[in-house]
Amino acid sequence: MAVIRPFRGYRPRPDIVGKVASPPYDVLSSDEARAACANNPLSFLHVVKAEIDLDPSIDVHSEEVYRKGAENLRKLIADGSLIRDDTPCFYVYQQRMGEHIQAGLVAGASVDEYQAGFIKKHENTRTDKETDRARHIEILGANAGPVFLTYRATQAVDSIVRGICAGEPQYDFTAEDGVTHTLWVVSDKDTLNALEQAFRDVPCLYVADGHHRSAAASRVREIRKAQNPDHTGSEQYNFFLTVIFPHDQMQIMDYNRVVRDLGPFTEETFLKEVSVRFHAAPTDDPKPREKGTFGMYLGGKWYRLKVQPDTLAVSDPVESLDVAVLQDNILGPVLGIRDPRTDSRIDFVGGIRGLEELERRCAQDAVLAFALYPTGIEELMAIADARKVMPPKSTWFEPKLRSGIVVKMMDQ
């Protein structure tokens, strides 16, 4: 079952929510974040990327950065920019991006459930990134950025959320990227109880995005637990900030690759090598339309690659992913890129940027690009169910969750 809890969130005043809500900490560089909020002291980037308020030479993982983030959070609270709900609440957070609409529940998810494997993962984490997020949470005393979770949609949850969305929202604003964000505050006790009960019938949750934040919340809970001789398990530090979306509303975009050199190959010999494993043909329509097809940009031309029938390992949920097929048949054995997580010859481009970005990169600092068909949410859940791990950079979720719309403190 999925254990969730309401909490007393801190939220922006309705008149300034558009100024406070910010992109996640990991989608902007420090320089981009400085530019984005140069004239906006209310931006939550001052909390989640506090190095923007310090000398540019500072180490972004230094204690001074975490302390500055805590100071900026306290300031937003002290001046009334963030206000706290009087009673524990859930929140329904809806996003509209073009024709796509998704509505999720903002809730505290159980660290116990995470540690027991009922909140399932599909990625490995890096210790240094876990430590960074854990220090951020611990020094702020808050979960400032939500973890993006999903679950197999149920009628019971869907009907409750639809009823909430029929009411008047607390916030409804459109960000600079054109995505509309709408929030409903749920404080009615009967509705809170109904949501908790409905999620008890959900067998498990899945981490869609935020593996390091999840792991960090688990670390911080252990710290708080050790410091509290009266620990009961019901304290708010036992639950971390999440937005939980039904799987049939999720939008996963392609996560594409650019490569900086061909190694020992010329364009001609590389294309010949690729043709051993794939059917390759020039195309004017390079965007992949189905699993097992790829767009390849080489020498200023697009090619469509089609997997040879015996290439796809359909019996294995990881090896059958298009990102794995590309890695196992071209990037690794042909180009020698054995570990795409660390190899400087490869870079990754989110599908939100379009195929034009791949062409631009090949004109700037790369010679080869691959456009992929998006990984499916069912593939993600199958891999998590099998307790396996996806290759790096397998999924790109859109739209991104804004930080600062709801903040969850570690206390009651």
Shared domain for 215 and 272, answered yes or no, is no
Q: What is the pLDDT of residues 311-362, one digit of tens each?
A: 665 678 898 899 999 999 999 999 999 999 889 999 999 999 999 999 999 9
Which residues make Cβ contacts (< 8 Å) with residue 103, sequence separation at least 6?
92, 93, 94, 95, 161, 165, 245, 249
pLDDT of 312? 61
Among 214, 212, 105, residue whose Cα is nearest residue 157? 105
238 inside domain = yes
Q: Are residues 403 and 358 in the same domain?
A: no
Q: Are 260 and 246 in a shared domain?
A: no
Instruction: Give the CATH number, domain containing residue 362.
Output: 3.30.1760
pLDDT tens for residues 163-195?
999 999 999 999 999 999 999 999 999 999 999
Q: Do residue 18 and residue 87 come from a single domain? A: yes
The answer to whether 85 touches 6, Cβ cutoff 8 Å, is no
- Within-domain flag for 41: yes
Picking from 127, 200, 151, 176, the residue whose alpha carbon sits closest to that of residue 384 is 151
Asked whether the bond before 399 is cis by omega within 30 degrees of 0, the reply is yes
The whole-angstrom separation of Cα 352 and Cα 27 is 12
What is the 3-state secondary structure of the chain? CCCEECECCEEECHHHHHHHCECCCCCCCHHHHHHHCCCCCCCCHHHHCHHHHCCCCCCCCCHHHHHHHHHHHHHHHHCCCEEECCCCEEEEEEEEECCEEEEEEEEEEEHHHHHHCCEECCCCCCHHHHHHHHHHHHHHCEECCCEEEEECCCHHHHHHHHHHHCCCCCEEEECCCCCEEEEEEECCHHHHHHHHHHHHCCCCEEEEECHHHHHHHHHHHHHHHHHCCCCCCCCHHHEEEEEEEEHHHCCEECEEEEECCCCCCCHHHHHHHHHHHEEEEECCCCCCCCCCEEEEEECCEEEEEEECCCCCCCCCCCCCCHHHHHHHHHHCCCCCCCCCCCCCCEEEEEHHHCHHHHHHHHHHCCCEEEEECCCCHHHHHHHHHCCCCCCCCCCEECCCCCECCCEEECCC
pLDDT at 392 (0 to 100): 85
Structural domain span for residue 165: 4-251+398-409
Q: pLDDT by residue (tens digit) across 76-110?
A: 999 999 999 999 999 999 999 999 999 999 999 99
Half-sphere exposure of residue 33: CA atoms within 13 angstroms, side-chain side:
26
Domain annotation covers residue 85? yes
- Asked if residue 211 has pLDDT above 60, the reply is yes
Report residue 7 CA to chain centroid gap.
Answer: 22
Do 275 and 217 lie in a common domain? no
Q: Is residue 387 part of a domain?
A: no
Instruction: Indicate if the pLDDT at residue 122 is higher than 90.
Output: yes
Distance CA 94, CA 332 (A): 40
What local confidence, expressed as pLDDT, does residue 311 receive? 61
49: number of Cβ within 10 Å: 28
Q: Are residues 237 and 270 in the same domain?
A: no
pTM (predicted TM-score) = 0.92
Least confident of 23-27, 32-36, 153-157, 300-304: 23-27
- Please choose, from the candidates 391, 396, 354, 386, the residue with its C-alpha nearest in 3D space to the C-alpha of residue 371: 354
Residue 383 domain-assigned?
Answer: no
Nearest CA among 411, 279, 297, 290 for reference residue 357? 297
Same domain, 63 and 162: yes
Residues 164, 154, 316, CA angle at the centre, nearest 5°? Answer: 135
Supply the pLDDT for residue 318. Answer: 92
Domain check: are 207 and 350 in the same one? no
Cβ atoms of residues 300 and 363 within 8 Å: no
User: Across the chain, what does the average pLDDT equal?
Assistant: 95
Number of Cβ within a 10 Å radius of residue 156: 16
Question: In this structure, are 232 and 301 located in the same domain?
Answer: no
Is 393 a domain residue?
no
Share of the chain above pLDDT 90, in %: 92
Name the domain count of the chain. Answer: 2
- Pair 325, 333: CB distance under 8 Å: no
Is 159:137 a contact under the CB 8 Å cutoff?
no
- My answer on whether 38 and 186 are in the same domain is yes
Supply the pLDDT for residue 117: 96
Question: Per the domain annotation, does 381 fall within a domain?
Answer: no
Q: Are residue 108 and residue 183 in the same domain, yes or no?
A: yes
Domain identity same for 245 and 333: no
| pLDDT beyond 70 at 284 | yes
Q: Is 380 within the bounds of a domain?
A: no
Distance CA 365, CA 362 (A): 6
